Amino acid sequence: MLDPSDVPDVGHDELLARFIYQSSHIRPSDRTVKPNAFLPPKNLLCSVTRHLQATDDEIWTIGQCGALERGATLYGRADVRSQVCADAGLVVLKVPVKGNVNHADVSGWPDDKSEQKMIAQELAAAATLVDPPTAWQVAS
C-alpha cells in the first residue's frame, strides 16, 4: 500500500480497480463487465482503487470493507488502465480516504447521460473482470 504521507499523482498507465457491488453489472454469459459498472454517480466522481504498491489481498480487503459499509455483496472488480480513462477524456485524481490511501476518483465526466454511457462502454470494454477470492464468492 502507498505511504499515506507521500501519495503520488496517478500515473498514465496505472491499473485501477472498480469494485462491483451489483451482480447486474456482470454479464453471466461471458463474465464481462457491463458499462453500468462505470457510470458515475450524481457527483460525477467514479470511485476507484489504485493497484500501486498494493497486494491483491490488500485490494480485496478494501473492496470487502466497502461492501460491509454498504451492506452489499462484493461480486468482483473491474480492472482498467488509467490510460483508458485518459483516452476517453477523463482524469484520474488521487483522493486518499480513511482506510484506503490508494483511493482515486475518475472525474471529467460530461453532464449528458448519453455521453456518460458511451464513455462507460469504452471503459467496460477495456476492463478485465476479476472474481473475488473463493472465500468471498457468492452463489449465483
Q: Residue 86: in which H helix or E strand, if any? A: helix 82-87
What single DSSP character describes residue 111?
S
Mean pLDDT value across the chain: 93
pLDDT digits 0-9 by tens, 115-136: 999 999 999 999 999 999 875 5
Q: Within a domain: residue 3? A: no
Q: Within a domain: residue 125? A: yes
Q: Within a domain: residue 139? A: no
Total residue count of the chain as it appears in this document: 140
Q: Within a domain: residue 4? A: no
First to last CA, the chain: 31
What predicted TM-score, i.e. pTM, was given to this entire model? 0.92
Do 54 and 64 contact (CB within 8 A), yes or no? no
- Tell me how many domains the chain contains: 1
What single DSSP character describes residue 38?
G
Q: Within a domain: residue 27? A: yes
Closest CA to 99 of 51, 139, 62: 62
Residues forming beta bridges with residue 92, ordered by sequence position: 106
Q: Is the pLDDT of residue 60 over 60?
A: yes
Give the residue numbers spanning the domain of 123: 15-134
